[in-house]
Amino acid sequence: MRDYHTHTFRCKHAQGDVEDYAKYAVEYGIDVLGVSDHTALPDNWIPEIRMDISELPDYVEAIEKAQKKYPQLRILKGMECEYEKKYYSFFQEELLGKWGFDYLILGQHLFYCDGQLVYFWKDIKGAKELKVYTDLLVSGMESGLFTFVAHPDAFGSFYLRWDEEAKACSRYIIEAAEAYHLPLEINGHGFRKGEIKTAQGVRLKYPLPPFWELASQYNVQVLVNSDAHQPQEVGAFLTEGQELVERYGLEIIDLLEFLEL
Ligand SMILES: [Zn+2]
Ligand SMILES: [Zn+2]
């Protein structure tokens, strides 16, 4: 089993360091562990959900130490990033270049809409915010910096209806994934986030089954990750994610082969 999306204490809302996740991964029978904490940013934008820029060397060192301590486990050096054009050179030259990251994940957790900061997990929003989220996500996909898209359907947390707007935005994201050969992630953490009441019934915030049903109509690849925020969450809910893969006949890829590492 493989899991390419996990965090560490540095993002301030997860527990444990790389070695704790690695130890658990070995016990759980995982053979590839991707460590992908919420990225540091040069201007420390919204510091409460990410590591400080000064912690970057320590994060890299923690990964390299764990790689030495657990040689039976393949540990990859990753980062989960919000896209903004102004960070392009930081991602490209610092993370992928200087620090030699194996991969970057695109995960759009917050964004500005009409000058207001929108956190996807905080408030219920409308079609305008959905459109801004979608456009920003797709511009990140176009940037060529990222290896896959985390929880593309996380807009289900703030946009409650599955309507024409939701379908159009989903199609736009899925078409970009097809055009840029960018796998989409079914995110295990969503199964833990609980349910939400909508006019169309009670459902998970994400994953959104109709999004994945729509994805099955395109030539796109998917992967399932835990998005663990605690060591014992490594590998969690992969079975539930796999169930969606099977239900809709989606094409699953292994990231290691995809990355040609
Ligand atoms: Zn997180
Ligand atoms: Zn994550």
Give the model confidence (pLDDT) of 165-220 as tens digits.
999 999 999 999 999 999 999 999 999 988 999 999 999 999 999 999 999 999 99
φ, ψ for residue 57, nearest 5 deg: -60, -35
> Which percentage of the chain shows pLDDT scores above 70?
100
Ligand closest to 120 (CA) is 1
Q: Give the C-alpha separation, 31 to 38, whole Å.
A: 22
Containing domain of residue 249, as a range? 2-259
Q: Give the C-alpha separation, 33 to 87, whole Å.
A: 26
CB–CB of 232/16 below 8 Å?
no
* Mean pLDDT value across the chain: 96
- For CA atoms 257, 108, 28, 18, give the dihedral sign: positive
Helix (H, G, I), strand (E, B) or coil at 100: coil
The angle formed by the CA atoms of residues 200, 240 and 33, to the nearest 5 degrees, is: 130
Over 80: is that where the pLDDT of 261 sits?
no
The H-or-E segment that residue 203 falls in is strand 201-204
The angle formed by the CA atoms of residues 221, 226 and 232, to the nearest 5 degrees, is: 160
The rounded Å distance from CA 219 to ligand 1 centre is 29
Check residue 121 and give its pLDDT. 87
Domain total of the chain: 1
Check residue 259 and give its pLDDT. 84
| AA letter at 133 | Y
The rounded Å distance from CA 43 to ligand 2 centre is 20
Check residue 253 and give its pLDDT. 95
Which two three-digit tokens encode residue 181?
Answer: 């050969």
- Write the CATH number for 44: 3.20.20.140
Helix (H, G, I), strand (E, B) or coil at 174: helix
The rounded Å distance from CA 155 to ligand 1 centre is 15
Classify strands 74-81 and 110-113 as parallel, antiparallel or unpaired: unpaired
First-residue to last-residue Cα distance in the chain: 17
- Cis, bond preceding 152 (omega within 30 deg of 0): no
Q: What is the pLDDT of residues 36-85, one digit of tens each?
A: 999 999 999 999 999 999 999 999 999 999 999 999 999 999 999 999 99
Q: What is the pLDDT of residues 118-163, one digit of tens each?
A: 998 888 999 999 999 999 999 999 999 999 999 999 999 999 999 9
Check residue 194 and give its pLDDT. 84
The rounded Å distance from CA 226 to ligand 2 centre is 8
The rounded Å distance from CA 38 to ligand 1 centre is 7
The rounded Å distance from CA 13 to ligand 1 centre is 6
The rounded Å distance from CA 199 to ligand 1 centre is 28
Ligand closest to 110 (CA) is 1
Helix (H, G, I), strand (E, B) or coil at 224: strand
Ligand closest to 12 (CA) is 1
Over 80: is that where the pLDDT of 260 sits?
no
**Residue 131 burial by CB count (10 A; 0-12/13-18/19+): exposed, middle or buried?**
middle
Over 80: is that where the pLDDT of 6 sits?
yes
**Residue 92 burial by CB count (10 A; 0-12/13-18/19+): exposed, middle or buried?**
middle
Check residue 257 and give its pLDDT. 86
Q: Give the C-alpha separation, 221 to 215, whole Å.
A: 9
